[in-house]
Chain A
């Protein structure tokens, strides 16, 4: 999404509306990054996650659809798709776990070790957040800003109900105040290829 017209949308929402954003957080969103880099560098150095949190909490990782065991050896390039999950139940949950005891059971879809050398440049990775990581990492990513295609943004805002709009305290589009409900109209994003969405959550009271 680099080098194309991009709208910048900043919204201020009540903290209890975080769940409204779960669909796009699950389906995936763009994040600017310096790539290629290892998954560990991406999570810890670029996204600012604590290494302990990554080790203990993000126990299931898929890079481009492949189960990833060693994040020091997994390389994310431009356009890479990174899905992050907490521990999952059941045998399959255990099977998908990073470096888990049952990893052999999904060896056919396991990411092999990759070459970690090479110079990096500006690019974008696509991130998906699942389950317990939605409330834990969602506000952080939304606060820093995520990238959506205009089609994704139009579909997302079109599907929102009154509850969502009543929780929106303020919205600016390219630094200009915009009536939140105007976003429901897809024409707001006409002519843009991408929307940079930043959401600031504020607690009640």
Chain B
């Protein structure tokens, strides 16, 4: 990963590729690279869909190596949904292949003058860009099927569906999984709309003739990776719970806690949530000849995904994740897994963020467009998005836009990005992160539950309520760092509970780059990334008043605990004081 490719999509005479050394970004990957580059090079007041914005694709620091769990791809830009800086990441094969091709980043710049649609082919010989208007208005599944006929099965595809082409604010960027299905999405923030604005429909990554990235110290790296994998396999979450049930294992627990937002955040429990649970989902998948255990990229040892077949045993979609099952399920009063699975497929195919779309449909239900619990109605609304009708375009621009268009007061967004599946009135600490993250409401912004091991910010007494600000701050720092490694965030449980597994991760980073890596180094990286992101947002016009939850969280108690969000504004303003 010693080079960066810049592709000026607006160059006179057609897109132009410029290769350069990795330079000041050496040793960086993932979110660290995308955010530092965007913060430095993109005008914060630019239009996110204009020529001044840039779209950065960056594999993680350890992507393309033999290391386990190293397959996250980060995509960075100014977000058209939030107006803030954005990093959105996904699994799939793309990060590994891009890293083996030697790229620390590919950056799409400028904007084509015509409405031609381009595809970009990257292989060991370089980068070829060509117009292919036959790809217009293809959704992700038929698009990849068409591309496979030309480029085959030994490549990775990065694509946008029709939502990205139409520059809808909920549009995602799809990465293919090992079976070449476009199921892994950089979902949040409308990054797919930025790719659409650049006129790029597909990026084909072909690493034929390339080798794994070699570590500086191969023996040490191999040994550290072995210990890291052992740690993941022996932990009950990464070695048992996630492989057996996937992330949807959380449905029962969140519902029991009264933190499962239902009927557009009107109550914290859904009477029939058990029908949507990960346990029920896994049983159904196995019974229908699918699987409840599947990896989104080669080298994954957690295998939290699965294959969801229809009643006839035919592939319907990949295993919907917890947030998807919630957003299309309980949030909308729908308790049917088959409906959720069909909506998940439509999200992936059209190319939209499952959280944003599910929340938006719930807001549309609150607006009276359809009733809560209307399964067929929800599918019809998604079809509108796929067709690009006026209603579909409103919905495809997310919950905030839909709420404004239809005059809905209860719109669960922060910085115009939809809240995920955890009610901040029941789990107040998560509300702190939702409110203050640089990315708009995002549960993964403060997800790296290893702060006790990292000792980020020193020792915090977690049993004191006032510790929540410190916890959120430390979680956000740790997450920014892990997002930069290219590691899946689900490693966090094992490294939190097992110091030797965290040490193995540090040893992997150290052995690969030939340096000594400490927890302090990881913390410093996280702070550096967050500082750059905060600085970009401030220059884009965001103030502390934007670091707030919608008012209804402060004024409407939620059952069964009858809690409101109680964190004071002054406390929220302390999150980034380090």
Interface: B263 (CB within 8 A): no
- Among A19, A65, A92, A106, max chain B CB count under 10 A is at A92
Give the nearest-CB partner of A95 in chain B: B427
- Determine how close the nearest CB of chain A comes to the CB of B563; give it in whole angstroms: 5
Contact between A91 and B279, CB atoms less than 8 A apart: no
Which of B277, B429, B492 meets A104, CB within 8 Å?
A: B429
How far, in angstroms, from A30 to B144 measured CA to CA in the complex? 51
How far, in angstroms, from A106 to B471 measured CA to CA in the complex? 12
Which of B236, B242, B283, B426 meets A106, CB within 8 Å?
A: B426
Contact between A95 and B252, CB atoms less than 8 A apart: no
Interface residues of B in 419-474 (CB under 8 A from A): 422, 425-430, 443, 446-447, 449, 451-452, 462-465, 467-468, 471
Stretch of A40-48, A72-80, A126-134, A190-198 at the chain-chain interface: A126-134
Give the nearest-CB partner of B445 in chain A: A91
Instruction: Determine the chain B residues whose CB is within 8 A of the CB of A92 once the complex forms.
Output: 250, 253-254, 259, 422, 427, 430
Interface: B208 (CB within 8 A): no
How far, in angstroms, from A23 to B276 measured CA to CA in the complex? 11
Contact between A102 and B429, CB atoms less than 8 A apart: yes
- Among B247, B277, B279, B443, max chain A CB count under 10 A is at B279
Give the nearest-CB partner of B432 in chain A: A105
Contact between A86 and B471, CB atoms less than 8 A apart: no
- Determine how close the nearest CB of chain A comes to the CB of B336; give it in whole angstroms: 14
Instruction: Determine the chain A residues whose CB is within 8 A of the CB of B468 once the complex forms.
Output: 104-105, 107
Contact between B429 and A105, CB atoms less than 8 A apart: yes
**Chain A 74-98: CB-based contact to B (< 8 A → 1; otherwise 0):** 0000000001011111111111100
Which of A22, A89, A90, A107 meets B279, CB within 8 Å?
A: A22
| CB contact under 8 A between A95 and B279, given known A27-B274, A131-B252, A132-B240 | no
| CB contact under 8 A between A87 and B257, given known A103-B463, A108-B566 | no
| CB contact under 8 A between A134 and B249, given known A23-B274, A104-B465, A104-B468 | no
Instruction: Determine the chain B residues whose CB is within 8 A of the CB of A102 once the complex forms.
Output: 429, 449, 462, 471
Instruction: Determine the chain A residues whose CB is within 8 A of the CB of B242 once the complex forms.
Output: 89
**Using a Cβ–Cβ cut-off of 8 Å, how many residues does chain A contribute to the interface with B?**
40
How far, in angstroms, from A94 to B427 measured CA to CA in the complex? 12
Contact between B447 and A91, CB atoms less than 8 A apart: yes
**Chain B 267-284: CB-based contact to A (< 8 A → 1; otherwise 0):** 000000011011110010
Contact between A93 and B493, CB atoms less than 8 A apart: yes
Interface: A62 (CB within 8 A): yes
Instruction: Determine the chain A residues whose CB is within 8 A of the CB of B287 once the complex forms.
Output: 163
Interface: A60 (CB within 8 A): yes
Which of A83, A89, A96 meets B241, CB within 8 Å?
A: A89
Contact between A86 and B279, CB atoms less than 8 A apart: no
- Determine how close the nearest CB of chain A comes to the CB of B499; give it in whole angstroms: 13
Contact between A87 and B493, CB atoms less than 8 A apart: yes
Interface: B244 (CB within 8 A): yes
Contact between A109 and B237, CB atoms less than 8 A apart: no
Interface residues of B in 191-250 (CB under 8 A from A): 236-238, 240-242, 244-245, 247, 249-250
- Determine how close the nearest CB of chain A comes to the CB of B304; give it in whole angstroms: 8
Which of A91, A96, A106 meets B446, CB within 8 Å?
A: A91
Which of B244, B257, B452, B475 meets A91, CB within 8 Å?
A: B475
| CB contact under 8 A between A107 and B274, given known A26-B252, A90-B250, A92-B422 | no
How far, in angstroms, from A83 to B279 measured CA to CA in the complex? 15
How far, in angstroms, from A57 to B447 measured CA to CA in the complex? 23
How far, in angstroms, from A103 to B428 measured CA to CA in the complex? 11
- Determine how close the nearest CB of chain B comes to the CB of A99; give it in whole angstroms: 8
Instruction: Determine the chain B residues whose CB is within 8 A of the CB of A83 once the complex forms.
Output: 252-253, 256
Interface: A53 (CB within 8 A): no
Instruction: Determine the chain A residues whose CB is within 8 A of the CB of B278 once the complex forms.
Output: 131
Contact between A93 and B463, CB atoms less than 8 A apart: no
Give the nearest-CB partner of B420 in chain A: A92
How far, in angstroms, from A76 to B468 measured CA to CA in the complex? 29
- Determine how close the nearest CB of chain B comes to the CB of A149; give it in whole angstroms: 15
- Among A19, A27, A65, A90, max chain B CB count under 10 A is at A90
Interface: B496 (CB within 8 A): yes
| CB contact under 8 A between A104 and B467, given known A87-B236, A109-B258, A131-B278 | yes
Contact between A86 and B236, CB atoms less than 8 A apart: yes
**Chain B 294-323: CB-based contact to A (< 8 A → 1; otherwise 0):** 000000000010000000000000000000
| CB contact under 8 A between A91 and B252, given known A108-B566, A132-B241 | no
Instruction: Determine the chain B residues whose CB is within 8 A of the CB of A91 once the complex forms.
Output: 430, 443, 446-447, 449, 475
Contact between A105 and B493, CB atoms less than 8 A apart: no
How far, in angstroms, from A6 to B463 measured CA to CA in the complex? 45
| CB contact under 8 A between A88 and B253, given known A22-B280, A109-B561 | yes
Contact between B429 and A131, CB atoms less than 8 A apart: no
How far, in angstroms, from A85 to B252 measured CA to CA in the complex? 9
- Among A22, A96, A128, A130, max chain B CB count under 10 A is at A130
Contact between B241 and A131, CB atoms less than 8 A apart: yes
How far, in angstroms, from A82 to B237 measured CA to CA in the complex? 22
Interface: A39 (CB within 8 A): no
How far, in angstroms, from A23 to B275 measured CA to CA in the complex? 8
Interface: B490 (CB within 8 A): yes
Contact between A106 and B250, CB atoms less than 8 A apart: no
Instruction: Determine the chain B residues whose CB is within 8 A of the CB of A89 once the complex forms.
Output: 237-238, 241-242, 247, 249-250, 304, 490, 493
Interface: B407 (CB within 8 A): no
- Among A85, A100, A103, A108, max chain B CB count under 10 A is at A108
How far, in angstroms, from A93 to B240 measured CA to CA in the complex? 14
How far, in angstroms, from A22 to B464 measured CA to CA in the complex? 37
- Determine how close the nearest CB of chain B comes to the CB of A86; give it in whole angstroms: 6
Contact between B249 and A105, CB atoms less than 8 A apart: no
Interface: B368 (CB within 8 A): no
Contact between A131 and B280, CB atoms less than 8 A apart: no
Instruction: Determine the chain B residues whose CB is within 8 A of the CB of A105 once the complex forms.
Output: 427-430, 468, 471
| CB contact under 8 A between A87 and B237, given known A131-B244, A131-B279, A132-B244 | yes
Contact between B429 and A65, CB atoms less than 8 A apart: no
Instruction: Determine the chain B residues whose CB is within 8 A of the CB of A163 once the complex forms.
Output: 287
| CB contact under 8 A between A93 and B447, given known A65-B561, A87-B493, A88-B241 | no
A positions within 8 Å CB-CB of B: 19, 22-23, 26-27, 57, 60, 62, 65-67, 83, 85-96, 100-109, 128, 130-132, 134, 163
* A-B pairs with beta carbons under 8 Å apart, 25 shown: A26-B280, A60-B253, A62-B257, A66-B561, A88-B253, A90-B247, A92-B427, A94-B449, A94-B493, A95-B429, A96-B257, A100-B462, A101-B451, A101-B452, A104-B465, A104-B471, A105-B471, A106-B427, A107-B465, A109-B259, A109-B426, A109-B427, A109-B561, A128-B252, A130-B256
**A-B residue pairs, 7 tightest by C-beta:** A105-B429, A94-B449, A130-B252, A83-B256, A26-B274, A62-B256, A104-B462
